[in-house]
Amino acid sequence: MKVKLQDGTEKHYRTVWMKESNVYMIDQRLLPHRFRILRCKTHLDTVEAIKNMAIRGAGAIGAAAGYAMCQAALEARDISNGQSRITESRDWFGHIIIAEKTIKKARPTAQNLFYAVDRVYKAMCGDQDLKRITEQAVKEAEAIADEDAASCKRIGELGNDLIRDGMRILTHCNAGWLAFVDYGSALSPIYAAKEAGKNVFVYADETRPRLQGANLTAWELLNEGIEHRVIPDNVAGALMKQGKIDMVIVGSDRIAANGDVANKIGTYTKAVLAKENSIPFYVAAPTSTIDPACKSGDLIPIEERNEDEVRWIAGVTKSGRRMEVRVTPEGSHALNIAFDVTPAELVAGIITETGIYKAEDIIHALE
């Protein structure tokens, strides 16, 4: 998508990309107040960027993880000291195995991360030439990124059919293009609707504790010229009861085979409220987010993050200075559960690049 830079120009960016051995990404920790490109020189740098949320969102994490595997392959080729065959350097193989495990530990809930790592690793298997193995890794990682962008564009085209002119849509967290390589999932139908000439209005949950809605979703919508309001997380129910919300669209970090959906904490609450108020609740996600090996949402690992994300909050002062301030008493502890699971029966439909499915039929999206 295009980004409006401080000098007034517009430039198209993907969320994450690789050039030579470096992985580049938009540093989402600084948005919306500062736009910066972060360079990760090694696979461990990329892993750290995933862990500390410099990059976040299912598809973006997946693409970054695939690129991290490429970096590990390039590093391993250096370890081989010019030897051309894998059988001549067991250190090479050991480096790849350790890197694979390290990358997979970065964010335990995001299915796209595991999907990308496994695909790149599989692409490296079955060959003995280190140069070819590395080339195959890079080719596969680039394919994953391109497929993510194409899938999200298609999600927008299909989801647009669900949106009527004048609709007021609620979304939670950030499932825009920053959360994927491009276009996004939950916001992609909204972008497509605007492009089709429809008038749409978006309520963006602030999404505590990391404020992805207030910081990232609002920044995207502002850039795209879409009218919106950022709302506290606990306002949505009142707006639904007042008849001011027509549809809910959220993203997902993992979808179980039975249609249960894991997404940012607070999503389940919105789904229950939508059901109570007879408002359709949709999930938008590429098929790479579906985990066919996970039978139900009860089996999805739920990440618990550092309590300081709840106890402290970051922002900028009126003078533009970035600061972090504590919002809890110094001795109070916090519980920081990062995701929750919405049961399939609360989901009106799941929008994928292959079609819109009833949640309980989502496994057919992979056929």
SS3 284: strand
Give per-residue burial for 94-108: e unless 16+ CB within 10 Å, then b. Answer: ebbeebbeebeebbb
Nearest to 187 by CA among 164, 211, 230, 216: 216
Nearest to 73 by CA among 99, 46, 51: 99
**What distance in Å separates the CA atoms of residue 93 and residue 72, rounded to the nearest whole number?**
10
Check if 27 is active-site. Answer: no
Residue with tokens 């335990």: 108
Given the DSSP bridges, would you call strands 349-352 and 281-284 parallel, antiparallel or unpaired?
Answer: parallel
| Cβ count near 200 (within 10 Å) | 25
Q: List the strands of the sheet with 281-284, edge to edge.
A: 228-231, 201-205, 168-171, 247-250, 281-284, 349-352, 355-357
**What distance in Å separates the CA atoms of residue 186 and residue 179, rounded to the nearest whole number?**
10
**What distance in Å separates the CA atoms of residue 39 and residue 141, rounded to the nearest whole number?**
17
Nearest to 99 by CA among 71, 60, 127: 71
Distances 63 to 144, 328, 332 between C-alpha atoms, Å: 6, 36, 37
Of 233, 253, 291, 340, which is the active-site residue?
253
Distances 46 to 76, 105, 249, 287, 345 between C-alpha atoms, Å: 16, 12, 30, 24, 37
The set of catalytic residues is: 253
